[in-house]
Amino acid sequence: MRTGRSRRVGVVKALALAAVLLAALVCYATYQAPAAGQSSFRIAVDVALVVLPATVTDRQGSLVSDLAEQDFQVYENGVAQHIQLFKNEDIPVAVGLVIDHSTSMVPKIAEVVAAARTFVRSSNREDAIFVVNFNELASLGLPTSVRFTDDTVALERAILTKLARGQTALYDAVAMGLDQIQAANRDKRALIVVSDGGDNASRRKLDEVMKLAEQSTAVIYTVGVFDLDDPDRNPGVLKRLARETGGEAFFPGQPGEVSAICERIARDIRHQYTLGYVPSNRARDGSYRSIRVLAGNKDRGKLLVRTRTGYRAGAVPLPGEQAVK
């Protein structure tokens, strides 16, 4: 006959076994295999990871692409963060070409199409690209059955489907691009906005679009194509969109320079580092968190880093929210 003590030991063992089985079932239920084309570091435990594409240059403006993880420091609101994701490779990117088709762009559309062709040819062959055309209305350029493509001819056709006329709904177009790019199964995302920067037709306001950009994973590059006497030009908006998302703003002197700029943007994207960290402040209180990334080592000294300036920690996924492997 079993003693009272042996019965208690048996109960404890049974409870321990049940706990182990329950933990295994929870792990199985919360595990999600990656969809086709997605990186493996999307799976595993439920930990928010802020992902930062970062471009590093030396004092002469040349790209630096041979740094190691220990050469970087990341700060959120001035507090050092532990880097938990580091990639230094040319991985496929999702890219939105956001093209102004207002009346002021009539003499420039041919150059813009040529620049888009240059960008595609200079990009990773596995990039997923789409087009947003806009004048007073914004619309997707590709057929409804095609969300993304790397076909140069299809992208040229997508840009040319909209006639250049009317007013400018820049903010609506950027918002549409940010929405569309979230559907891409790429870990790096970018918008290239070609416009004069003026807006006289959008339903959305600039502050609203900036909040969307703060919540997005996309880096925004802007190309200001306008004449100096153009009353609708607004380079300040183009600079702000680029600066706060880690991109860069370009203002070519001539339309013919746009192709060289798009080639430079493609090179910039392909040489970015990818850094990720779990914020030490885990509260999702809607506050804006500033980000600062430093890079350098004893051989190269201090280097220049371009990345997004911050994000908004609201009740939405963090920028680039992933699960830690």
The distance of Cα 239 from the centroid of its chain, to the nearest Å, equals: 17
33 to 36, 107, 128, 299, 323: CA distances (angstroms): 9, 49, 22, 42, 12
Distance from C-alpha of 92 to C-alpha of 95, rounded to nearest angstrom? 10
Residue 46, pLDDT > 70, answer no
Distance from C-alpha of 151 to C-alpha of 165, rounded to nearest angstrom? 26
Parse the chain into domains and list their residue ranges: 1-30, 42-89+273-313, 93-270
Quick one: tokens of 64? 């630096």
Q: Is 41 left (phi over 0), alpha (psi -120 to 50) or beta?
A: alpha
Distance from C-alpha of 126 to C-alpha of 259, rounded to nearest angstrom? 21
Average pLDDT over residues 200-229: 91
pLDDT value at residue 108: 87
238 to 3, 26, 78, 243: CA distances (angstroms): 80, 47, 27, 9
pLDDT value at residue 325: 42
* Architecture in CATH of 93-270: 3-Layer(aba) Sandwich (3.40)
Say which residue, 230 or 223, is predicted with more confidence. 223
pLDDT value at residue 18: 46
pLDDT tier for residue 196 given thresholds of 50, 70 and 90? confident
SS (H, E, C) 282-316: CCCCCEEEEEEEEEEECCCEEEEEECCCEEEECCC
Average pLDDT over residues 265-272: 94
* pTM score: 0.81
- Which range of 11-15, 203-207, 284-288 scores highest in mean pLDDT? It is 203-207
pLDDT tier for residue 4 given thresholds of 50, 70 and 90? low
Q: Which range is least confidently modeled, 7-11, 68-72, 95-99, 166-170? A: 7-11
Quick one: tokens of 125? 């062959």
pLDDT tier for residue 232 given thresholds of 50, 70 and 90? confident
Helix/strand/coil for 48: coil
Average pLDDT over residues 66-94: 95
| 123-147 tens-digit pLDDT | 998 999 999 999 999 999 999 999 9
Strand ranges (DSSP E) for 145-241?
188-195, 219-224
